[in-house]
Amino acid sequence: MISRRALLTTLAGLGVGTATFQRALAQLAQDDGAVTIENLQQAQWISGYDLTDEEQSAILAQVNRDKNQLGELRQCSIDYDVAPAVVFQTLAHQGGAGEAPRRGAVPRESHPPQRPQDDAQLAMLPITELGSLLRSRQISSVELTQLYLERLKRYDPILHCVVTLTEDLAQRQAEQADREIAAGLYRGPLHGIPWGAKDLIRVADYPTTWGIPGFADRCLPGNATVVERLREAGAVLVAKTSLGALAMGDKWYGGTTRNPWNPRQGSSGSSAGSVAATVAGLLGFAIGSETLGSILTPSGRCAATGLRPTFGRISRDGCMPLSWTMDKLGPICRSVEDCALVLDAIHGADGRDPTAVNRPFEWPCEIDFRRLRIGHLARHAEQFERPPWTVLRDLGCQFVEVELPSGFPVLALIQTISIEGAAVFDSLLRARQTDGWNTWPGSFRAAQFISAVDYVRAMRVRRQLMEAFESLMSGVDILVNCSDLMQTNLTGHPSVIFPASVEQRDGRFRPQMVTMTGRLFDESRLLAVAAACQRMIGPLAHPPLEEWLEQEIPGAVDDQ
């Protein structure tokens, strides 16, 4: 063991054994002492940064907030046998366990609809109806692809939802889909359907920008697993859709992605473009990602239907990492059943993402609603006379009052994102290549001052939260509108969101959304319940895009 004298001698040799440094260490050792600029200057050796005065001032408040939240974390009681939530996997375990998925999902009803005469109505149809029109050859994939490309070009100037159009690829894929369908080689319900990929998903021969100007022209080799699986399903990629810079919010280097119901408002983020383009009928469906609300939040603002699957359900191979322990991919569609059809095509292990596993998924899924236990918060009782509660009651579901797990420092646990993100983007941070990163630079730099011990402590407390939430879910099948977004992103449970209505009040369109959370890897039942509710609620209106085109949309965006 190194002696105190040897330690001080070593520190002095490094230039940190000064009286000022010792005073800084003493102050940091006090539980109630605030971190000062002097502390940061003397503690820079922890992170290996040489911060400017401006950068030190910028992160000081964040460092103090982190310190206060970590104080709560340190008060948590943890038994010695509580393991971290992060489980190491050897290379032999890549791809997870379980049988390879059998991709046999089909729409509940297969009667081909009549093709709408109006192209705008056609563009707004769900996958279930578009697929029937394609299979019955009332429309070709080339025709549908051209329609969506034209709409992307027409409405993107007011929505700012497109980073790159993939026209050449879309043309080739659509022509191939038409040939195969004409020859009776039908790949399934996504065959010939145009779609969009959030621009953190790698697509060969096209830029993958992550929403930042430094990568605007960057092309990466190969396709992400989700791109390959949708290609195998016969889907047609028409666009790379916008995301907030490095998956934060709706602001990217091309502007702010806007809400199709109100282009004076941001669409929220970070799956901003995927949601806006889907709701506006600019493509058949899109793939987004969520680390902490990036599918559910913009879907809620723009009245989309979005699915955040169980963590590990879909491979993230070829996608930008922000938090290895929290990132998830999921479909954004115009109906719950559409989400089920897309999920069936893309889920399962691939041998590349070690967190991706094979678990059963069936669609359609038949359930006995009379045996279904719906968890709700106490305050929901006064809402039982309006949807979705009236619909769930008519279906015969049982209502169970629940309380979410409490006593966990959730905000401290959410620091996981900044810590892991700081590791992902460390080299760019050190090179100060952070233009257009929104507020990430300060968060990532502040995270460098969180110790590894505290990170592991957070993972152990996260394990306790996971166990507490699993205990809650053992008593119910579905949670409805329980405001569990932060907790379930930490525990990995799946959630689906869909609109019950879109009301116009005070000159604003306000969607009323339903959020349902299910058990781990139980998307079949979760989506079956949500789809039944959505069918009983009925179809909704579409955004008045032509009216917005006729108006002058100001440059400033109201994000309220």
**DSSP-derived pairing of the beta strands 194-198 and 236-241:** parallel
pLDDT of 421: 93
pTM of structure? 0.90
Q: Residue 393, class by beta-carbon neighbours within 10 Å (0-12 exposed, 13-18 middle, 19+ buried)?
A: middle
Tokens representing residue 70 in the block: 């970590």
140 in active site: no
Adjacent-strand bridge partners of 240: 164, 197
240 is catalytic: no
**Is residue 86 classed exposed, middle or buried when 0-12, 13-18 and 19+ CB atoms within 10 A define those classes?**
middle
pLDDT in tens, the chain (560 residues): 334 344 333 333 333 444 444 444 444 444 457 889 888 888 777 777 788 888 889 889 988 888 888 888 878 887 756 767 877 554 445 555 577 888 989 999 877 789 999 999 999 999 999 999 999 999 999 999 999 999 999 999 999 999 999 999 999 999 999 999 999 999 999 999 999 999 999 999 999 999 999 999 999 999 999 999 999 999 999 999 999 999 999 999 999 999 999 999 999 999 999 999 999 999 999 999 999 999 999 999 999 999 999 999 999 999 999 999 999 999 999 999 999 999 999 999 998 998 899 999 999 999 999 999 999 999 988 889 889 999 999 999 999 999 999 999 999 999 999 999 998 999 899 899 999 999 999 999 999 989 898 999 999 999 999 999 999 999 999 999 999 999 999 999 999 999 999 988 877 899 999 999 999 999 999 999 999 999 999 999 999 999 999 987 767 787 65
Query: Catalytic one among 294, 323, 418, 443?
Result: 294
H runs (alpha helix) in 141-295:
141-159, 167-182, 225-232, 272-279
Tokens 């690829």 -> residue: 169
* CA–CA dist 253, 258 (Å, integer): 14
Type of residue found at 431: A
Catalytic option among 47, 140, 141, 198: 198
- Does residue 198 have an active-site annotation? yes
pLDDT for position 559: 65
Which pLDDT score, from 0 to 100, does residue 32 have?
A: 53
Set 132, 140, 141, 270: catalytic member: 270
Provide the 8-state DSSP code for 249: S
d(C-alpha 198, C-alpha 206), whole Å: 13
Give residue 80's region: left, alpha or beta (phi > 0; psi -120 to 50).
alpha
Give the per-residue pLDDT at 80: 58
CA 525 to chain centre: 21
C-alpha closest to that of 400 among 428, 419, 420, 372: 372
Sheet containing strand 285-290, strands side by side: 162-165, 236-241, 194-198, 285-290, 328-333, 305-308, 495-505, 508-518, 478-480, 373-376, 398-401
CA distance 20 to 88: 41
Q: Which domains does the chain have, with CATH numbers?
A: 92-102+119-402+476-538 (3.90.1300.10)
| List of residues 6+ apart from 124 with CB closer than 8 A | 281, 334, 542
DSSP 75-140: TS---TTPPPS-----GGGTT-SSPPP------S--PPPPPPSSHHHHHT--HHHHHHHHHTTSS-
The predicted pLDDT at position 97 comes to 58
